[in-house]
Structure 1
Amino acid sequence: MELEQIPGYPPADPASKRPVLAILTMSDRLLGFRGNRENFADVAKTGRDMGFTVYVLPCKSLNFTEPMLSGYGLNDKTGEWFKGRFPFPDLVYNRIPQREDEMRPKVQQKLRLCQQHPRIKGVFNPSFFNKWELFEWLKKSQATNRYIPSTRKMVSVTGLGRMISKHPYLYLKPVSGKAGKGIMTIRVMEGKTLPYRLRIQQKKKSSTYNCATISKLWSRILRESGGVSYIAQQGIDLALYQERRFDLRALVQKNGSGQWAVSGIGARLAGSRSITTHVPRGGSIEDPEKLLQHAFGPQEARELMSKARSACVQLARQIETASGQSHGEMSMDLGVDVEGGLWFFEANAKPMKFDEPHIRKKSLERIFQYGSYLMRSPKQGKAGGA
């Protein structure tokens, strides 16, 4: 089915005045392309309403010498994806879903060419973040270092022992993990026969192992990690709601002026048997102000929300500056400890969609508000925006 035949779709004209945004992903032999199709559909609909041509572009179809590329558009009436020919993009929205795919040499080369190509005005989210690099970047600035828990690479039993002696509560996280997969915690239970308690996150619950010595603890960790690189991070005693820990999830995006701004902050409440707050691991979506008011009272809750917004913008600016690459959006996990202190835990360069309707609506609009800013601005090669 050709692009011109689809109701509500603009003509497939390379000279069209409408800016063109391509959602970059990987091809799929059976389905045509991979990724969150519901999310892509929302992006396509919002873009069309805001004057953009939007289509899904499998990485293998990205040809830098052709004016028209093979991709997938959304049929307005049926909500189904169709294959067609689309104009070469002005903007590339990187939604390659898997880190392993993004690291392929051919994919890396195409992402580099996107950033260098004179016709492409901007690349949203040039790559996934690496947890260790994130913390290294944020330590470089005094403004952001204060939000960072003590973090070390986990490379030896000796190093783990030193970390435990300073912080008897630790989180162990895979450097390239996502959605809470592979997370473990260690607590030292003084005076116990088996003082080292290791909890391992599974699908929606956790399992616990108690060890007598650090060497036995280390052996168990190695077995569970399966050779994947991990970081060890100071555990934070988070504020609780009904005996369950919670954290804040913020979406930070560039706006129509090219400035970092908070599109919204939600909260995630841990499942009763989970060590993470991630929804796929048993967590639930909550109103952040309700949880903070429960823990700290109305006035301090308002102050904490304001501090969180300010911190998110500082963190986004520093991540972008230190990475040396221009970004358009990122989500962040922040924790509030029992004393009201704010902590940064994680950032994601390709945010999952927020289920809160007000955040979702703004998040979609901001993609194209920032896209419009890029269209009228000089091309940004490296870190740009404020």
Structure 2
Amino acid sequence: MESLLPDHEGTEGLRGNGKPVLAILTIDDDIQLFRGNRSNFADLIQTGEQRGFIVYVLTVKNLYLSRSRLKGYVFNANEESWSQQLMPFPHIIYNRIPLREDEMQKTVRDKIKACMKDPRVKLFNPYFFNKWHLMEWLKQSKMTKPFIPATRKLMTVNGLSRMMKKHPFLYLKPESGKAGKGIMTIKLQPEKQMPYLLKIQEDRKSATYTCGTIYKLWARVQKESSGEAYIAQQGILLASYNERKFDLRALVQKNELGRWEVTGIGARLAGSASITTHVPRGGMIEDPEKLLSSSFSNEHARKILIKAKQASLLIARQIERGSGQLLGEMSMDLGIDIDGNLWFFEANSKPMKFDEPHIRKKSLERIFQYGTYLTKSKTEKAGGA
């Protein structure tokens, strides 16, 4: 095997022989070489190769900015196996580190920061989003502020009490949560002897508790949150299908011009015993037009979908502006209330695979459309597209 070159000498000549080079960044793993969704990585490698890219999986441990070649993992489709090879230094790094706790490691954050300062490489979507930061960024624009439910940091029992007086139905969400993990709901039922109804999301169902006082409620919430930072958010009465709540899931990505575009919008129907619509928590994938048409007229449903696409683009631009970082994609959860109003719930900088075939195909292609743009443009500024 060739030795790794210790410096920048000959870098441009080695960078894919004129082909753009994209590295999928993840974390190494002692047992399975690297972490992440292997089938997604394999799909990305195959799509990239079809579009004239060299694509490989790169772990943070093997990312050296001083070297011209890096140890990367490539996929052999015929044998369905992975092997390590020396690969050219990338033009683009696509951050797919799967877990927040991995990304929070100092060595990982330091490498990502170094990449963001290096003029030879473009790294996009550097970090997971924080739910509180998202709400703060979106409140800064009069265009996106109307989509935000009332949101507060969950700090004290008095703060919770004040919010419940304004909003008798609340969602409690971990600031750094993912895929519906750790979500709770509180409903105030003043006519009942135990007026506080608390639901806690478990794997595919929810556990229910009733509390007689705000202080007992607070103690239970504190126990469940285990000291993790939470936000409290106004509960929205979502439209439903067969008495099951649903919301929309939008995938927004940048195109070959470096501009945000809606790749697709799907719908997620809550599980029968779940308080979220996330598929890992028992939610189901559904057709958005079918679900919307069950609650509204066909014409109204069509208008809601158009508005959802327009809102997704506004929100994506404002999140990028607020973050000050280079972003290339995000998924977002949008709720439709019983009156047809649109609400933003959260965005994810590491979108999970969309299972709808037409969205999936386009989402893979768009990564490389944006990659082509990044290789041509060395001067794009965050928030400008």
**TM-score, length-normalised on structure 1?**
0.95
Alpha-carbon separation, structure 2, partners of 1:15 and 1:271 = 47
Pairs within 5 Å for 1:17-28: 17-28=18-29
Pairs within 5 Å for 1:62-77: 62-77=63-78
- Give the AA of the match of 1:321: R
> For residue 87 of structure 1, what is the aligned residue in structure 2?
88
> For residue 226 of structure 2, what is the aligned residue in structure 1?
226
Pairs within 5 Å for 1:307-386: 307-380=307-380, 382-386=381-385
Deviation at 1:14, TM superposition (A): 3.5
Q: Is the Cα contact below 8 Å between 1:137 and 1:319 reproduced in 2?
A: yes
Pairs within 5 Å for 1:1-386: 13-14=14-15, 16-120=17-121, 122-380=122-380, 382-386=381-385
Deviation at 1:384, TM superposition (A): 4.3
Alpha-carbon separation, structure 1, partners of 2:106 and 2:210 = 43
Deviation at 1:109, TM superposition (A): 1.2
Moved over 6 A (4+): none
How big is each residue's C-alpha offset from its partner over 1:168-209, in whole Å with a ceiling of 9 and x where there is no partner?
A: 000000000001000000000121000000000001111110
- Give the AA of the match of 1:54: V
Alpha-carbon separation, structure 2, partners of 1:109 and 1:300 = 49
Range moving further from structure 2, 73-82 or 189-198: 73-82
Deviation at 1:123, TM superposition (A): 1.4
Q: Structure 1 vs Structure 2: percent identity of aligned residues?
A: 61
Deviation at 1:115, TM superposition (A): 1.2
Alpha-carbon separation, structure 1, partners of 2:15 and 2:371 = 18
- Give the AA of the match of 2:26: T
Other structure's SS at 2:80 match: coil
Gapped regions of structure 1 (runs ≥ 5): 3-11
- Give the AA of the match of 1:58: T
Deviation at 1:50, TM superposition (A): 0.4
Alpha-carbon separation, structure 2, partners of 1:131 and 1:315 = 14
Deviation at 1:30, TM superposition (A): 1.5
Range moving further from structure 2, 137-146 or 107-116: 107-116
- Give the AA of the match of 1:355: D
Alpha-carbon separation, structure 2, partners of 1:311 and 1:60 = 39
> For residue 9 of structure 1, what is the aligned residue in structure 2?
none
Alpha-carbon separation, structure 2, partners of 1:265 and 1:179 = 17
Q: Is the Cα contact below 8 Å between 2:318 and 2:383 reproduced in 1?
A: no
Alpha-carbon separation, structure 2, partners of 1:71 and 1:373 = 23
Root mean square deviation of aligned Cα: 1.2
Alpha-carbon separation, structure 2, partners of 1:106 and 1:253 = 28
**TM-score, length-normalised on structure 2?**
0.96
Gapped regions of structure 2 (runs ≥ 5): 3-12
What count of residue pairs does the alignment treat as equivalent?
Answer: 375
Deviation at 1:338, TM superposition (A): 0.2
